[in-house]
Amino acid sequence: MQALNRTFTNREVTEEVADRWWIFLVTGISWLVFALLVFQWDYTTVYAISILFGFVALAAAVNEFVAISMSTTGWKWIHGILGVIFVVVGVWAFVHPHAAFATLADLMAFFLVFKGTFDLLVAFMTKNQFDLWWLQLITGVLEIALAFWVAGSFRDSVILLVVYVGIIALMRGFTEIFFALKLHGLRNDLARAAPA
């Protein structure tokens, strides 16, 4: 009986999360619009780039904290830790803009390797459940390729640092949209499997 109750409770939680798929679609589109704005503006000072990076980090923190309410128990603490890290990094970029500028390229290389690896793993793990899994696979490969490019001899280029911030926003937007589509597909599967 307890197992049956737990199954119904898990299904209700899954349905509730799947019904909120549109939130991730909206945040994904917002990240893509932000990336477009980043690529259009002219940033020529260290302070402008560091402050831009600080805003991106704080927006990512808010995004992680929102994701906590829609995650399963195992993922909640990961979103919480990521949210706190993004807050610390965002505040650090505002307080120490020169230091943020100097270390941004190094951090981007590591970030893109981890993000690309994560996207590759998720793409392969959801291959059977998600028709567009290959888009996340391509995103992961591009992120890893960018990581090696970033780690090269381009660290001192101001324009490249702006591109890094734009790339982060682009990749975040794609990831959010992929997640929204996965939730929407799950919602449809649950609706088809529901008893009449």
Q: Where are the domains of the chain?
A: 21-187
pLDDT at residue 51 in the model: 78
Rounded CA-CA distance 194/12 in Å is 11
Phi, psi of 72 (to 5 degrees): -75, 165
In this structure, are residues 161 and 18 in contact, taking their beta carbons and an 8 Å threshold?
Answer: no
pLDDT at residue 76 in the model: 80
pLDDT at residue 13 in the model: 56
pLDDT at residue 135 in the model: 80
pLDDT at residue 4 in the model: 43
In this prediction, the residues of the chain whose per-residue pLDDT falls under 50 are 1-8
pLDDT at residue 22 in the model: 85
The pTM (predicted TM-score) of the whole model is 0.55
pLDDT at residue 195 in the model: 64
Rounded CA-CA distance 70/132 in Å is 21
pLDDT at residue 1 in the model: 47
Rounded CA-CA distance 143/65 in Å is 24
